[in-house]
Copies of this chain bind each other. A is one copy, B any other.
Amino acid sequence: MKKLLASLALLPVLSFAQNKDSLMIRKFSDEILRNGKAYDLLYQLTKQVGGRLAGSPQFAKAETWGKQAMEQMAPDAVYLQECMLPHWVRGGKDKAVITSLNHKKTNRALDVVALGNSLGSNGKTITADVLMVADFAELEKRKDEVKGKIVYYNYGFNPTNLMPFMSYGETGIYRRSGPSRAAKYGAVAVMIRSLTESTANDPHTGAMAYTDSLPKIPAVAVGPRDADYLWSIKEGYSVSLKTNGSFLPDTIGHNVIAVLKGSEFPDEIITIGGHLDSWDVNEGAHDDGAGIVHTMEILRTMKAIDYHPKHTIRFVLFANEENGLRGGLKYAEQAKANNEKHIFALESDEGGFTPRGFGFTVKNKEQLSKIQSWLPLLQPYGTDRLIAGGGGADIGPLSSTFGTPLAGLIPDPQRYFDVHHARSDVFENVNKRELLLGAVNMAVLIYLVDQYGL
């Protein structure tokens, strides 16, 4: 107890306006922490809807759920914004088995999952020797050995990076481009080390994209412990691999949008959102169920405490981030067509962990400084970092279309890639208080932007 009081004592003395704000902010916080529904909503989304890849029947179910749940919160409007969705299907269980090791037959299954958007092995099982490479540089060096082989990229997270997102940035290209780069030299399939530092063996899927001019070979991610095993045996083994991915025709889907109309600036729009789609292998609890229920919780809270925003606030459940970004693109396209004015957009798409702060993509240092001057109001709720850089995928097109300032919630990032795109991204791995605190900090930021603009 002593600790918190001391911590508060260190904060700069608040001005009168800030004091009025701090009382209002406390009202948001108390309402969310006492009566918050984000955790219950997440339970519904993860357990009653479940995994909801764009285009799938589950995704349509998620749309209906999201629309009804927001309607119950009685905003000024709820509507659907149509957009076409890609429709990739996994098509069955992905399999990989080590069938021989050092010229001896063996039969060791690997825990693998096909990469999103990858095409299957046409109903056949591909059996081939494996060529392990540390990275693209080694692939280039050994390109003459690739033909007819399965290439295994062992490029993993760098454990000395303090920020796991930095590791994800460094390794992501192996998932996205690894298959085609190996196909160029005649590989028949690709396996990658899962993009994680998890100590479990769950493999991690995620989007890849083929180079159209090259053979579209199957591609899987290998569970971390199996990846360690492959690393330990190095060479001299063959793998039988079967995947079943394919694309069906695009389907109709929707961004689900709720609106609170602004009392002073109804034509100036603040957007809050997350993405409703998830991968098919899990419940999409952190990615991005958390962002969805953060968004809905802020709507619920504004109604509950009778907060009437000055600006129009849109609460957007984006339709398709994981394998296409169609939701965010449609939202910005429609905004442009309607000649809308978008003054700020905030996204939550880094999980439901304890909030540490926000990252901003803003116009200039002055704007960032203004935001940073709000730190004393945010700090009691857990925000320590108001930094440059952030606010990504779904709201990104608003920035490129209008130059809209963006922000992204920064939850503590250390556990995120344990569950990211893996079977373990389930409700049970989300903590209720951590989830609610994300909504609290987002609500505070939105309140300040609504009151004072940027």
Contacts and interface: CB of A to CB of B under 8 A. Distances in A.
A381 B431 CA distance: 24
Contacts of A433: 159, 164, 197, 414-415
Contacts of A5: 389
A354 B412 contact: yes
Contacts of A324: none
Contacts of A359: 3, 6
Interface of A: 1-7, 9-10, 29-30, 33-34, 39, 159-160, 162-166, 169-170, 197, 199, 354, 356, 359, 380-382, 384-385, 387-390, 410, 412, 414-415, 418, 431-434, 437
Given A4-B166, A356-B384, A414-B431, 5 more contacts: A6-B389, A7-B385, A10-B388, A415-B431, A415-B434
Nearest to A164: B433
A92 B8 CA distance: 45
Contacts of A170: 1
- Output the residue of A39, A165, A432, A437 with the most chain B CB within 10 A: A432
A30 B160 contact: yes
Contact of A7 (B34, B354, B387, B437): B387
A3 B387 contact: yes
Given A414-B434, A434-B415, A3 B160 contact: no
Nearest to A431: B415
Nearest 3 Cβ contacts at the A-B interface? A1-B169, A384-B384, A6-B388
Contact of A29 (B162, B354, B387, B389): B162
A162 B418 contact: no
Given A197-B433, A415-B431, A437-B414, A162 B4 contact: yes
A445 to B, nearest CB: 16
A175 B58 CA distance: 47
A241 to B, nearest CB: 30
A354 B163 CA distance: 12
Contacts of A384: 356, 384-385
A220 B183 CA distance: 65
Contacts of A33: 159-160, 162
A382 B162 contact: yes
A295 to B, nearest CB: 21
A353 to B, nearest CB: 8
A381 B5 CA distance: 25
